[in-house]
């Protein structure tokens, strides 16, 4: 089993008087991580929200019933909690009335789970996201050299645990993920009337990775109104299929102020949507894949390291641009992503003049390890 970076952090949060909430897209390994977390514990009560029996049990549960079910157990796990009606209030009953119990909640649908849990458990929970496997996790498991050697494969097929652990079956697994699991929660909970158009929207976004996204253009392309396009993108972001990167603007009149780019949390999902599994050496979109991979990896690294920062891209109306910006503790760092190490990076003097205290780093396939595991 590939050890997850969150394991030690979650162990540190155990029995600190708060519930632990673990959110992630389906098939990212939440249940496997939980089993590792409670390994060796013999007083664990495990509920699975996917089971009708569990959902029925929680329908009108009382404190007295909870006390009977919990018994002498010290840990209560509610897996796939988003399937249980009014889950937040039920979990509040446990945290309020059983202070010695460690409650752990998982969910694959963050928009549904967050809506039901956040308010009832305000101040009573630690919340973490679990993403597809990170480069740091692969390096810890396989060694840095082997993980680096696998990079071209990861850029094409991505880092979902099943994909990484079943070499040769990548296409079949990704096909199943994109057809069965990826938007199951959205289709179930939002009762989307045009699932075919949701798929077309995702395909359109996959082709536009690393480019500015126009909701109006997408609306014309997919034949859905602008508000529906925005709603679908919100849902895809909340279920951790993709994420938005806004534009940075502070000093200059010609900086783009309301633009956004969209990236996928996993390259394999992006490539599965457009049906392109060609090797990196054969691809016209190698730069896009590299940019998507690095931004998603940096996002994982910051989250797992609890290093919170603001993130953007930067561009002017004259098409001067920087791929990615991070700001932490008032320090602004700019990143340029170049798949080809021999390709020269043009550093915008406009940006440096406007933000003289910032620094700029160029990340390519020869030096990226330093940025991801330092």
Instruction: Tell me which residue range forms the domain holding 16.
Output: 6-129
Give the C-alpha separation, 96 to 346, whole Å: 57
The verdict on 193 and 323 lying in the same domain is yes
> Could you say which of 69, 101, 129 is where a domain stops?
129
The verdict on 94 and 176 lying in the same domain is no
The verdict on 349 and 239 lying in the same domain is yes
Tokens 């540190």 — which residue?
Answer: 12
Those residues whose C-beta lies under 8 Å from the C-beta of residue 166, and which sit 6 or more positions away, are 173
Residue 82 in domain? yes
The verdict on 162 and 233 lying in the same domain is yes
H or E, element range at 54: helix 52-57
> Could you say which of 129, 162, 191 is where a domain stops?
129
Q: Which of 246, 7, 2 is nearest to 141 (CA)?
A: 2
Q: Are 103 and 94 in contact (CB under 8 A)?
A: yes
The verdict on 64 and 92 lying in the same domain is yes
H or E, element range at 364: strand 359-364
Residue 50 CB-half CA count within 13 A: 10
As a whole number of Å, the end-to-end CA separation of the chain is 23
What are the contacts of 277-284 at 24+ separation with CB within 8 A?
277/156, 277/157, 277/170, 277/171, 278/156, 279/152, 279/156, 280/152, 280/155, 280/156, 280/339, 281/152
The verdict on 174 and 231 lying in the same domain is yes
**What's the pTM?**
0.92
CATH of the domain at 45: 3.40.50.300
> Could you say which of 103, 129, 155 is where a domain stops?
129
Residue 86 in domain? yes
Residue 110 in domain? yes
The verdict on 120 and 194 lying in the same domain is no
SS3 22: strand
Give the C-alpha separation, 200 to 216, whole Å: 15
Q: Are 105 and 75 in contact (CB under 8 A)?
A: no
pLDDT in the model for residue 88: 85
The verdict on 84 and 209 lying in the same domain is no
Tens digits of pLDDT across the chain (374 residues): 899 999 999 999 999 989 999 999 889 999 999 998 888 888 999 999 989 999 999 988 899 999 999 999 999 999 988 888 888 888 888 999 999 999 999 987 666 666 677 777 777 889 999 999 999 999 999 999 999 999 999 999 999 999 999 999 999 999 988 887 666 667 666 666 667 888 899 999 999 998 889 888 999 999 989 998 998 898 888 888 999 999 987 766 655 566 899 999 999 999 999 999 999 999 999 999 999 999 999 999 999 999 889 999 998 888 788 999 999 988 999 999 999 998 887 878 888 888 888 999 999 999 999 999 97
DSSP category for residue 248: P
221: its two tokens: 């392309």
Give alpha helix (H) positions in 307-366: 349-354
Query: What does the angle CA 259 – CA 230 – CA 128 come to, to the nearest 5 degrees?
Result: 85
CATH of the domain at 285: 1.10.10.10
pLDDT in the model for residue 114: 65
Residue 339 in domain? yes
Residue 78 in domain? yes
- Indicate the burial class of 79 (C-beta count within 10 angstroms; 0-12, 13-18, 19 or more): buried
The verdict on 204 and 66 lying in the same domain is no
The verdict on 122 and 227 lying in the same domain is no
The verdict on 182 and 230 lying in the same domain is yes
Question: Is residue 158 left, alpha or beta, with left meaning phi > 0 and alpha meaning psi from -120 to 50?
Answer: left
Tokens 């096909």 — which residue?
Answer: 175
Residue 59 in domain? yes
Residue 1 in domain? no
pLDDT in the model for residue 125: 87
DSSP category for residue 359: E
The verdict on 332 and 294 lying in the same domain is yes
Into how many domains does the chain fold? 2
pLDDT in the model for residue 318: 81
Residue-wise over 200-222: b if at least 16 C-beta within 10 A, else e? bbbbbbbebbbebbeeeebbebb
């Amino acid at each position: 089993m590939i050890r997850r970076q969150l394991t030690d952090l979650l162990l540190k949060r155990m029995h600190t008087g708060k519930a632990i909430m673990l959110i992630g897209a389906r098939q990212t390994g939440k249940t496997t991580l939980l089993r590792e977390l409670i390994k060796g514990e013999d007083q664990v009560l495990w509920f699975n929200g996917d089971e009708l029996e569990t959902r029925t049990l929680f329908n009108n549960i009382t404190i007295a019933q909870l006390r009977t079910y919990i018994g002498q157990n010290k840990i209560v796990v509610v897996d796939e909690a988003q399937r249980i009606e009014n889950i937040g209030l039920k979990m509040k009953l446990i945290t309020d009335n059983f202070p010695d119990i460690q409650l752990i909640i998982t969910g694959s649908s963050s928009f549904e789970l967050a809506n039901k849990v956040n308010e009832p458990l305000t101040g009573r929970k630690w919340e973490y996201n679990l993403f597809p496997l990170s480069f740091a996790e692969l390096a810890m498991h396989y060694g840095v050299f082997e993980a680096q050697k696998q990079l071209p494969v990861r850029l094409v097929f991505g880092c979902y645990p099943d994909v990484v652990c079943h070499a040769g079956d990548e296409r079949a697994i990704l096909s199943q993920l994109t057809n069965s699991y990826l938007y199951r929660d959205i289709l179930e909970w939002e009762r989307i009337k045009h699932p075919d158009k949701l798929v077309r929207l995702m395909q359109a976004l996959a082709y536009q990775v690393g480019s500015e996204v126009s909701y109006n253009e997408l609306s014309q392309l997919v034949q859905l109104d602008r508000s529906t396009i925005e709603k679908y993108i919100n849902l895809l972001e909340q279920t951790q299929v993709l994420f938005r990167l806004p534009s940075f603007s502070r000093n200059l009149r010609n900086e783009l102020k309301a633009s956004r780019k969209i990236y996928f949390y996993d390259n394999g999902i992006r490539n599965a949507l457009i049906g392109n599994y060609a090797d990196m050496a054969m691809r016209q979109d190698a730069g896009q894949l590299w940019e998507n991979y690095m931004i998603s990896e940096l996002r994982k690294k910051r989250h797992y390291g609890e290093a919170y920062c603001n993130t953007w891209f930067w561009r002017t109306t004259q098409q001067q641009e920087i791929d990615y910006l991070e700001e932490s503790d008032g320090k602004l760092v700019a990143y340029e992503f170049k798949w080809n190490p021999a390709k020269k990076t043009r550093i915008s003097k406009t940006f440096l003049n406007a933000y003289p205290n910032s620094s700029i780093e160029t990340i390519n396939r020869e030096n990226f390890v330093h940025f991801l595991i330092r």
